[in-house]
Amino acid sequence: DIQMTQSPSSLSASVGDSVTITCRASQSISRFLNWYQRKPGKAPKLLIYAASSLQSGVPSRFSGSGSGTDFTLTISSLQPEDFATYYCQQSYSTLWTFGQGTKVEIK
């Protein structure tokens, strides 16, 4: 199995802050890495696919980068609606796996 490890597990930030979440794969996954946002009671929402491609309709303050084993999701100017839990997910192997999640909370 390819293990996906996110850091930090949680963070506190203020509206307007820039936030970076890291996702590390246990082996190289090229750029086959996706990011999702999950709010309580809501379905997960695709933000970024293929490491850096912005899903249609997602605000441009979200961006992704990385390749190989290390990836980042950056929210350039945190908005009130961005407080949520974020998950990375790899599809490089036939067993698709998610990171454990990063909860972004209001400071």
Partner 1 sequence: QVQLQESGPGLVEPSETLSLTCTVSGDSISSYYWSWIRQPPGKGLEWIGYVYYSGSTNYNPSLKSRVTISVDTSKKQFSLKVTSVTAADTAVYFCARVNGGNPNYYFDYWGQGTLVTVSS
* Residues binding partner 1 (CB under 8 A): 31-32, 34, 36, 38, 42-46, 49-50, 55, 87, 89, 91-101
Nearer CB in complex with partner 1: 72/101: 101
Token couple for 77 = 């100017």
Nearer CB in complex with partner 1: 32/71: 32
Nearer CB in complex with partner 1: 17/46: 46
For the bound state, the minimum distance from the C-beta of residue 27 to partner 1, rounded and expressed in Å, comes to: 14
67: left (phi over 0), alpha (psi -120 to 50) or beta: beta
For the bound state, the minimum distance from the C-beta of residue 61 to partner 1, rounded and expressed in Å, comes to: 20
d(CA 99, CA 10): 13
Beta bridge partners, 103, equal: 10, 85
30 close to 92: Cβ distance less than 8 angstroms: yes
For the bound state, the minimum distance from the C-beta of residue 99 to partner 1, rounded and expressed in Å, comes to: 7
